[in-house]
Structure 1
Amino acid sequence: MKLALAGLWMFATAMLVAPNANADIKVGIVVSASGPGSALGQPQMRAVAALPQEIGGQKIVYVALDDESDPTKGTQNARRLVIQDGVDILIGSSLTPVTMPMLDVAAESKTPIISLAAATAIVRPMDDRRRWAFKVVPNDDLMAGAILKHIAKSGIKTLGYIGVSDGYGEGYYKEISRLAPTLGLTVTTHEVYARADTSVTGQALKVLGTNPEAVFIASAGTPAVLPQEALRERGYSGKIFQTHGVASEEFIKLGGANVEGAVFTGEAFTIADDLPPNDPFRKVREELVSAYEKVNGQKPNIFAAHLWDAIALFKKAAPNALKAAKPGTPEFRAALRDELEQGKDVYLNNGLSTMSSTDHNGYDERSAFLIKVEGGKFRLAR
C-alpha cells in the first residue's frame, strides 16, 4: 500500500484528460487528517490499512492524502491524484467545504468521486458537475426531516439554533428553517461559530435570551461539544438536539456529563448493538470492526465507517466496470460512474442505499435511527 500524507502542487486543468492505463485499480483518498476536521479524518486515514487489497483478483492500490481541512489543499490533492497517480476513483473529503471544489476536478477529469462529507449540496441539484459525484453520508435534509418530526411530535414549539459557519451547518439550517414551519415549529435564533473557535459564550447567551423549549446544534466531531457545554454551564436544562456528525466516542469523552441526554438521528452503525442479532446492519458493522481492529488495535467510529462504505460501493460497482474496460482508462472511469448508479438496497453502515441517475445519495428514512446519549453511550432511543 502506498500511503502519502502531503499535498502537492497545482496542475494545469488541460492535463486532466491524460490516461494512465495499467493493470491495477487505483483509488485516490483525500481526508482531513489534520486541522479542524481531524476528528473525522484521522479515523478515516487509519481505516485505509483495513481496506480490501483486491477485487476479483484485481489488485487495488490506495493513495491517501491529508487535505489539512483546507479546501485549497484538498483541490491540489485531487488534481495530483488524477494527473500524477492516474486514479480511477476519488474518495473524499471528510468536510463539505473541502469536497465542493474537488467536484470540479472530478467533473473536469471525468473521474467518479464518493464524498465522505454530509451536505446535500454535494449531490444536489443534479447537473453536469454533480453527475460524477456520489455520497455515503445521508443527506442533511433526510436527517433534519427525521429529527424535526420527532421534535414536533414531542410537543416542542420553539427551537433555538447554533451551527458551524460552513457548508455543513448552513446546509442543516437551510433544511431546518424550511421544514420547521410545516411542523408547527418556530426557530428563534440563527447563531454560528467556526469549527476552530474555543468559545461560543456570546452565541449561547443569545440563544438563551430567546428562551427556546429546545436547542438544535448543527456541528460535527468534537467541535459540537462546545455549544452544548456552554448552554449547560449557563443553566439551560431544556432538550438539546445534535446531528449525526457527533457520533464518535471523542464527542462523549470530551463532553462528559454536559452531552448526556443529547438526541439526534444517525446511522445504523452507531447503535448496531441495539439491533436484533440477525439484522443485516449488524453484519456490515461487524465486518468493518473486525478488519479495523486487526490493523489498528481499536474499534472504528462512524467516520471510519464512511470510508469503509465508500469502498463498499466501489467494490459493488467495480466487477461490471472491469468487464467494460481496463483500469486506468477513461472508459473504466465512466463505467464505474454508471455502475454506481445501479446499486439497489445495498446495506452500508450509513444506511440502506439505492442509487439512481437522479439520486447519488440513495437513502430514505429507513436509514435514520433516533439515537440518544445515555449513560455515556450512544443508544437506540425507543
Structure 2
Amino acid sequence: MLLKTAGTLLAAALLATGPVQAQMKVGVITSSTGPTAMVGIPQKNTVPLLPARLGDLTVDYITLDDASDPAKSVAAAHKLIDEEHVDAIIGPPGTPNTLAMIPFVAEAGVPLLAPVGSATVVQPMDAQKKWVFKTTQNDDIIAQALVGHMAANGVKTVGFIGLGDAYGENWYKVFSALAADHGLRIVAQERYQRNDSSVTGQTLKLLAARPDAVLVAATGAAAVLPQVTLVDQGYKGRFYQTHGAALPDFLKLGGKKVEGTVLAASLMLVLPEMPDTHPSKPVAQRYIDAYEQRYQTLPATFGANVYDAGLLLQQAAPPAGHAGRPGTPAFRAALRDALEQTHDLVGTQGVYNMTPQDHSGFDARGRELIVVRDGRWKRLP
C-alpha cells in the first residue's frame, strides 16, 4: 500500500509540472561570409527572431556558416544530420549550395527549407526534391511580371547577362521562353561568376548588340556589377533585375547608376505603399519591426525568407508530433508531409499554398513590380 501511495504521489507530482515537452532541433546554414554574404548576413541575423516554440515543442536552432562554398554547405549538412540529428534544415541562400545538398538531405529524410531564388531546387519534382521546400518566389512568377512590363513599354530587343551557375541558367531558360511568347527578341546573352571583379568583355558584347533593355539575373552584390559597367560604357537603355537584387546594398553600391531599374520582388521593399488589405502586410511589418529593434537597421527581403521558414515549421510541427517524437524518422517524414499540405499560410513574402508538385506555393500576391526612384524602391502602378 505504501509503495502504491508513493507511486500515485509521484505521478501526481509529474502531472503537476505539466507535460514533458520534447525538443526539436533545426539546423540553419547561412552564407554570412564569402561572395553571398550580403544575402547571408540578414538571414543569419534573422535566426534569433524565429519562433522559440513550435506548438508544444521547444526548438533549438543550430547555425553554421558555409562561407558561400557549396562543398562547405554539404559538410555543414552532414554535421547537422549526423552529429546534431536535426529534424529540419533552413538554408543555405545560394542555389548551387542548395543543389549540392539535396541528395544528402533526401537520403537522410530531413526536410530542407531553401531560401533561394531559382526554382531548380524544387523543379522538376522528383524523389529527392520532394524533401525541399522553397521560401522565395519561383523564377516564372517574377519573370512574368518583368516580361509583361517590357511588352507594355515598347521593349522589342533584350540583352541578357546572368550568373554562370544554376541561378543564371534557369533564369535564362524561363525568361527566353516567356520572351518568345511575348514577341521579345534576345539579341545577346552573357555569363559571369559571383566573385568576378570585372565583366567588361561581356558588357561590351551586350553594348554592341544595342538592345532596348538589359536583364541582369544575379544575386546580392553580383547584381550590381554588370549594370554599373554598362552605364559607364554609355548604355542608355532600360535595366531590369530579378528578385536577387532586392536588398538595400543594391541601392548603396549602385547609387545613381541604378536609377530607373525595374524589378519584381517582395512587397517588403515597398511596404508603406501597399494597401492594408494585402494579407502579408501585417506579417511583414512585424518582422521588420523586430529586426529593426534588434539591429537598428532594416532587413533585406532575404532575411524574411528565413523568417517565413520559421512560420512554415511553426504550422507543420504540431501535426508531425502526432506521428512520432522529434529526432525520429517518423517525425521528420510527417514534418515533410505537413509542409507539403501547407494551405493559405500568410508569410512576409506572400501566401503559401503547397502541393505535391509545387513546393514554393506562391501566387501573384508574392510579387510587386518595383522601380528605383531617387535612390529608393517605389511601387509601380
TM-score by length of 2: 0.92
Matching residue of 1:30 = 29
Asked if the contact 1:49–1:295 (Cα under 8 Å) also holds between the matched residues in 2, the reply is no
Asked if the contact 1:272–1:281 (Cα under 8 Å) also holds between the matched residues in 2, the reply is no
Distance 2:128 2:272 in 1: 39
Asked if the contact 2:53–2:314 (Cα under 8 Å) also holds between the matched residues in 1, the reply is no
Distance 1:303 1:249 in 2: 11
SS at match of 1:251: helix
Asked if the contact 2:51–2:311 (Cα under 8 Å) also holds between the matched residues in 1, the reply is no
Residue 274 of structure 1: CA displacement? 0.8
Residue 311 of structure 1: CA displacement? 1.0
In the TM superposition, what whole-angstrom CA distance separates every residue of 1:7-63 from its partner, at most 9, and x where no partner exists?
Answer: xxxxxxxxxxxxxxx921100011111111111001111111222211234211000
- Give the letter for the 1:46 counterpart: N
Matching residue of 2:87 = 88
- Give the letter for the 2:119 counterpart: T
5 Å-filtered alignment, 1:1-382, equals 23-382=22-381
In the TM superposition, what whole-angstrom CA distance separates every residue of 1:82-127 from its partner, at most 9, and x where no partner exists?
Answer: 1100100011110000000211111100111110111111001111
In the TM superposition, what whole-angstrom CA distance separates every residue of 1:277-315 from its partner, at most 9, and x where no partner exists?
Answer: 343221011111222223323221101111101111111
- Give the letter for the 1:196 counterpart: N
CA RMSD of aligned residues (A): 1.2
- Give the letter for the 1:257 counterpart: K
Q: Which runs of 5+ in 2 are unaligned?
A: 1-20
Asked if the contact 1:146–1:365 (Cα under 8 Å) also holds between the matched residues in 2, the reply is no
Asked if the contact 1:113–1:133 (Cα under 8 Å) also holds between the matched residues in 2, the reply is yes
Distance 1:55 1:344 in 2: 17
Residue 158 of structure 1: CA displacement? 0.2
Give aligned-pair identity as a percent: 41
SS at match of 1:324: coil
- Give the letter for the 1:61 counterpart: D
Q: Which runs of 5+ in 1 are unaligned?
A: 1-21
Distance 1:244 1:275 in 2: 18
TM-score by length of 1: 0.92
Distance 2:304 2:101 in 1: 21
In the TM superposition, what whole-angstrom CA distance separates every residue of 1:316-335 from its partner, at most 9, and x where no partner exists?
Answer: 11111122221111111011
Distance 1:130 1:91 in 2: 15
> How many residue pairs end up in the alignment?
361
Asked if the contact 2:142–2:367 (Cα under 8 Å) also holds between the matched residues in 1, the reply is yes
Matching residue of 1:9 = none
Distance 2:277 2:143 in 1: 29
Distance 2:356 2:224 in 1: 38
Residue 340 of structure 1: CA displacement? 0.5
- Give the letter for the 2:136 counterpart: V
Distance 1:304 1:328 in 2: 27
- Give the letter for the 1:127 counterpart: D
Residue 350 of structure 1: CA displacement? 2.1
In the TM superposition, what whole-angstrom CA distance separates every residue of 1:204-257 from its partner, at most 9, and x where no partner exists?
Answer: 110010110111110111111111101111111111000111111111011000
Asked if the contact 2:212–2:238 (Cα under 8 Å) also holds between the matched residues in 1, the reply is yes
Asked if the contact 2:117–2:243 (Cα under 8 Å) also holds between the matched residues in 1, the reply is no
SS at match of 2:322: helix
SS at match of 1:226: helix
- Give the letter for the 1:273 counterpart: P
Distance 1:291 1:216 in 2: 34
SS at match of 1:265: strand
- Give the letter for the 2:210 counterpart: N
SS at match of 2:378: strand
Distance 1:242 1:297 in 2: 28
Residue 268 of structure 1: CA displacement? 1.6
- Give the letter for the 2:111 counterpart: P
In the TM superposition, what whole-angstrom CA distance separates every residue of 1:321-360 from its partner, at most 9, and x where no partner exists?
Answer: 1222211111110111001111112222222210011110
Larger radius of gyration: 2
Distance 1:281 1:338 in 2: 24
Distance 2:275 2:239 in 1: 28
Asked if the contact 2:159–2:215 (Cα under 8 Å) also holds between the matched residues in 1, the reply is yes
Distance 1:71 1:213 in 2: 36
Distance 1:272 1:280 in 2: 12
Asked if the contact 1:50–1:295 (Cα under 8 Å) also holds between the matched residues in 2, the reply is no
Distance 2:297 2:264 in 1: 25
- Give the letter for the 1:328 counterpart: G
Residue 146 of structure 1: CA displacement? 2.0
SS at match of 1:323: coil
Residue 184 of structure 1: CA displacement? 0.2
Residue 200 of structure 1: CA displacement? 1.1
Distance 1:299 1:366 in 2: 22
